[in-house]
A = this chain, B = another copy of it.
């Protein structure tokens, strides 16, 4: 038996063919055609799967199912209920549309949740069943796994930890229109915000004063011992640790798995988050471990396949 894992992004759709042992047999991408409300995206996905089946000599009865991750709020029935602005989609049922082309089981969920499931299945969270995946990218995303299952939430917005209110004194608006969200400090753009504010505060010397300021240059400077960069990393760590302590008091996970572009800084990033987490966490929740995500951009296709292959 085989499963397909499909990770729909704003630019490309990543796809993977898996066997039942979680081995990825093939992976490839197709462009995400967003014109006309993204009406071609799911038909394109179905056609790509049918073409791959023909190429590999796989018949429908050999396919256990297709798992799909998509950027937006997806409910338990696989209906995109909102938030898929990056695809041009309104409300639509993902399994229903794919079933017009191919008659195998289809399951869909939010892309961040699916990536979390992937990390639990074959990545940084392997061996755990209560996990919070934290994606530090352009924004801060999250995916929560409880007892091995995605916590989808009432409106598909479970695990949206980037929008926990964390700072009462913020004056700039978050993308969500509120002020003081975790995402405003712990994302790649958030780190740049913290860096620019710190650099503007005084004239303390820093390598960050020349050249581009990014999450990467900040953590590179931290590794080089730049004192200003260390202060920025401490601020970042304090905000993220405070936010994750709140998450821990709610779902009491075994492990936090930190991924996304910012996490490429590596273990040094965790060294700023863990002490802050301990500062704020309710002690019975303080045993939570911190791991780095390991699947990178493949977390989505792994997690999508896990929707089908895992339990």
Please list the residues of chain A having a beta carbon within 8 angstroms of any beta carbon in chain B.
Answer: 73, 82-83, 130, 142, 144, 146, 151-165, 168, 176-178, 181, 242, 245-247, 249-254, 279-280, 282-285, 287-288
Contacts and interface: CB of A to CB of B under 8 A. Distances in A.
A146 B144 CA distance: 12
B254 A160 contact: no
- In the complex, the count of this chain's copies comes to 2
A250 B158 contact: yes
A235 to B, nearest CB: 13
Contacts of A245: 164-165
Nearest to A238: B168
B250 A156 contact: no
A142 B297 CA distance: 36
Nearest to A159: B250
Contact of A146 (B151, B155, B242): B151
Contacts of A153: 130, 251-253, 285
Given A246-B165, A285-B157, A251 B252 contact: no
A153 to B, nearest CB: 3
Contact of A252 (B154, B162, B242, B280): B154
A165 to B, nearest CB: 5
A144 B242 contact: no
A165 B246 CA distance: 7
Contacts of A154: 130, 252-254, 287-288
Contacts of A176: 282-283
A153 B161 CA distance: 17
Contacts of A164: 245-246, 249-250
Contacts of A142: 250
B163 A249 contact: yes
Contact of A282 (B82, B157, B287): B157
A248 to B, nearest CB: 8
A124 to B, nearest CB: 16
A251 B254 contact: no
A246 B283 CA distance: 19
A162 B251 CA distance: 13
A249 B161 contact: yes
Contacts of A151: 146, 251-252
